[in-house]
């Protein structure tokens, strides 16, 4: 079994993070929010440059398995967590626990 790797965000993965975010919102979070909320949260027509800038600003940690980003999380200097997302195909496989452990370590 290939282990998960955790590292800091690197320039160039923003489109992969957007795809993960978009698909998680549209395939997982749709269970808890209505279609209008989902469309506002992760619109189909979002300018990718807005997403790129956002990911660079939050500077997240990413979880990688088999060369694929399967989750990411950020924690800001004031302790605010803006993003905490697990790839829709990797739900229930320990990605969230891995992300939470990163948060705990970073917060200390």
The predicted-structure confidence for 67-103, as pLDDT tens digits, reads as follows 999 999 999 999 999 999 999 999 999 999 999 999 9
pLDDT in tens, 13-62: 999 999 999 999 999 999 999 999 999 999 999 999 999 999 999 999 99
Pick the closest to residue 4 from 75, 108, 90 (CA basis). 90
CATH code of the domain in which 102 resides: 3.40.630.30
Question: Cα 93 to the chain's mean position, in Å?
Answer: 15
Determine the straight-line distance between the first and last CA of the chain, rounded to whole angstroms. Answer: 30
Please count the structural domains in the chain: 1
Record the pTM. Answer: 0.92
Which tokens is 89 given? 């195909």
Pick the closest to residue 42 from 19, 64, 63 (CA basis). 19
Q: For position 2, what pLDDT does the model report?
A: 66
Instruction: Give the mean pLDDT of the chain.
Output: 94
Could you tell me if 99 and 71 are in contact, meaning their C-beta atoms sit under 8 angstroms apart?
yes
Residue 106: pLDDT band (50, 70, 90) is confident
């Amino acid at each position: 079994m290939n282990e998960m790797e955790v590292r800091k965000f690197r320039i160039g993965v923003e489109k992969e993070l957007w795809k993960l975010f978009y698909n998680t919102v549209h395939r997982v979070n749709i269970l808890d929010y209505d279609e209008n909320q989902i469309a506002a949260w992760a619109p189909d027509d979002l300018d990718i440059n807005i997403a790129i800038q956002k990911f660079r600003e939050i500077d997240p940690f990413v979880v990688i398995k088999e060369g694929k980003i399967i989750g990411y999380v950020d924690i800001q200097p004031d302790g605010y967590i803006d993003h905490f997302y697990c790839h829709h195909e990797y739900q229930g496989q320990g990605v969230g626990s891995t992300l939470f452990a990163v948060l705990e370590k970073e917060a200390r």
